[in-house]
Structure 1
Amino acid sequence: MKFTAAICLLASYAGLASAAVGCQVEILNVSQASVGSGCVPFDSFANILNTANNAKYAISATRDCGFKVQNGQRLPDGFSLRKAGFC
């Protein structure tokens, strides 16, 4: 029974991921508190607002939700990006 439940859960997760259009990203400050978030389309980028300093960052996402800040920009020291799910 547990095996069947695990398979069903895995299948539903795979279905959710295939229906998603992008990755939800959070900008974290040095205390790991979220100071900005948004949806970044797969294999593309989106401008995400950092409410700590009112700066917008062009964040790109791969199909497996790997994130990076576009060339010419960088997050403040100690800040990071975190995957918060699919969108």
Structure 2
Amino acid sequence: MVEVLLEGLGKHAEEATIQNWFFEEGDSVNEGDELVELTTEDGSITINAPATGVLAEVYYDEGDVVAKGEVLCCIDDEEKEISGGAEE
């Protein structure tokens, strides 16, 4: 799992408000895809996916205020094989 942290806010901003999630939990994302748009006192920023995988968990909703350094979401970057039988 890859944690996506709230970083890159600028020198003075300590928090940001989530404006828009571009994907929902369970969606496939590619490294570099825009994940979430946020606003700070300095303007707006977009955080991109640091890895390719599935957006496994989103911890905040649109409109939530998030502190710098918090985990916004997790991407499951492990490739899983689809098999017809149980693993032993």
More helix by share: 1
For normalisation by structure 2, the TM-score amounts to: 0.30
Greater RCO, CA 8 A, separation 6+: 2
For normalisation by structure 1, the TM-score amounts to: 0.31
